[in-house]
């Protein structure tokens, strides 16, 4: 069995920046454990497998795997898959069947190997729980208790398909010197797969509104350079604190700078009468390589 694949850098316009992604094309016929083994072989934060769509109007089905687990939804594989399919089909809209449901992405070509995609979240973000044990959070992140919190933001668990513990910290300096202690991680972050999105406001930085880092205990990731599903969950928290009852915000999040893999994630939210009615994630992606998986025996 031979399978063509592409390597992309997502949430960036530059090669060798952003979040790496493997896209396995024409992956029909692969078993679940084979896809999981291939994702482990690539050992990237995520690998997406493109298959024939079940719906006649849809572009493709997408299965998303970290090195350890399958995810029902993830942002940077969705962006990367949409860019690949947009470049291949020359379409301006891509409809992806994911485990979470149908995801429609708008695509704009930049050149023959890069472009930008934006998609409306298939599931609106919602709050699942508060995080009250700030002492445990501080110990797990290697910071002081009084460094937790940023403006009106307080720690909580949100999900837009994948659960994340959202932890605001005082400033970018605190964010830069996090020292995660995975030995006590689950004491502080018991929900889902232990994914934690630590973020702060960046009022003095000209090109973004927030900075973030993401760590996980159970996804096989360690630290992730750019996490669209976590940014999607964050939209739910942001929506509670925007200073309007009805209106729209377009915001940018930087992530991955501490890893030397800078990402820029754009988020969009709209409220009507205090209710979040629209949420979207966007970013650029560029193809940096291609190859063939040879699984012959």
Instruction: Tell me the pLDDT tens digit for each residue of 127-159.
Output: 999 999 999 999 999 999 999 999 999 999 999
Token couple for 4: 């063509």
Whether the per-residue pLDDT at 211 is higher than 90: the answer is yes
Q: Could you tell me the pLDDT band of residue 122, with boundaries at 50, 70 and 90? A: very high
Integer Cα distance of 67 and 239 in angstroms: 32
- Do 126-283 and 2-118+284-294 have the same topology in CATH? yes
Look at residue 295 and tell me whether its pLDDT is greater than 80: yes
- 125 and 279 Cβ atoms separated by less than 8 Å: yes
Averaged pLDDT score across all residues of the chain = 96
The percent of residues in the chain predicted with pLDDT above 70, rounded, is: 99
Model confidence at 220: pLDDT above 80:
no
How do residues 171-206 score in pLDDT, each as one tens digit?
999 999 999 999 999 999 999 989 999 999 999 999
Fold of 2-118+284-294: Diaminopimelate Epimerase; Chain A, domain 1 (3.10.310)
Cα–Cα distance list, 257 to 184, 225, 254, 264 (Å): 25, 8, 7, 10
Superfamily designation of domain 126-283:
Diaminopimelate Epimerase; Chain A, domain 1 (3.10.310.10)
Q: What is the pLDDT of residues 65-86, one digit of tens each?
A: 999 999 999 999 999 999 999 9
Say how far apart CA 87 and CA 260 lie, in whole Å: 27
Over 80: is that where the pLDDT of 26 sits?
yes
Q: What is the pLDDT of residue 217?
A: 85
Give mean pLDDT, residues 228-253.
Answer: 97
> What does pTM read for this prediction?
0.96
**What local confidence, expressed as pLDDT, does residue 286 receive?**
98
The helix/strand count (H/E) of the chain reads as 6, 17
Active site annotation includes 108: no
Would you place residue 13 in the very low, low, confident or very high pLDDT band (cuts 50, 70, 90)?
very high
Bridge partner list, 247: 271
Domain ranges across the chain: 2-118+284-294, 126-283
Q: Say if residue 221's pLDDT is above 80.
A: no
Helix (H, G, I), strand (E, B) or coil at 218: coil
Q: Does the pLDDT at position 219 exceed 80?
A: no
Task: Report residue 141: phi and psi, to 5°.
Answer: -95, -10
Q: Please indicate whether residue 119 or residue 296 has the higher confidence score (pLDDT).
A: 119
What is the CA angle 226-216-158, rounded to 5?
A: 80
210-222 b/e with 16+ CB inside 10 Å = b? bbbbbbbbebbbe
Adjacent-strand bridge partners of 281: 119, 267
DSSP state of 219: S
What does the alpha-carbon distance between residue 199 and residue 212 come to, in Å, rounded to a whole number? 4
Overall residue count recorded for the chain in this entry: 297
Nearest to 218 by CA among 191, 256, 257: 191
Task: Catalytic residue, from 46, 97, 163, 201: name it.
Answer: 46
């Amino acid at each position: 069995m031979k399978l063509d694949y592409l390597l992309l850098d997502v949430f960036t316009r530059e090669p060798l920046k952003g979040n790496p992604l493997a896209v396995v094309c024409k992956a029909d016929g692969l078993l679940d454990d084979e896809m999981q083994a291939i994702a482990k072989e690539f050992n990237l934060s995520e690998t997406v497998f493109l298959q024939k769509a079940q719906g006649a109007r849809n572009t493709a089905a997408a299965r998303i795997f970290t090195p350890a687990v399958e995810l029902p939804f993830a942002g940077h594989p969705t962006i990367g898959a949409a860019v690949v399919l947009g470049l291949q089909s020359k379409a301006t809209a891509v409809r992806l069947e994911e485990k979470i449901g149908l995801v429609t992405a708008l695509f704009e070509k930049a050149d023959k190997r890069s472009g930008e995609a934006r998609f409306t979240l298939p599931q609106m973000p919602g709050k699942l729980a508060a995080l009250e044990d700030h002492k445990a959070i501080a110990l797990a992140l290697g910071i002081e208790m009084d460094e937790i919190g940023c403006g009106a933001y307080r720690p909580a668990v949100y999900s837009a398909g994948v659960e994340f513990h959202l932890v605001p910290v005082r400033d970018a300096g605190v964010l830069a010197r996090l020292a995660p202690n995975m030995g006590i991680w689950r004491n502080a972050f018991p929900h889902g797969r232990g994914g934690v999105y630590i973020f702060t406001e960046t009022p003095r930085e000209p090109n973004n509104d927030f900075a973030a880092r993401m760590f996980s205990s159970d996804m096989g990731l360690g630290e992730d350079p750019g996490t669209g599903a976590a940014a999607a969950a964050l939209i739910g928290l942001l929506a509670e604190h925007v200073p309007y009852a009805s209106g729209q915000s377009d915001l940018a999040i930087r992530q991955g700078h501490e890893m030397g893999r800078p990402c820029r994630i754009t988020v969009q939210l709209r409220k009507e009468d205090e209710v979040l009615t629209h949420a979207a994630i966007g970013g650029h992606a560029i193809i940096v390589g291609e190859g063939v998986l040879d699984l012959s025996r």
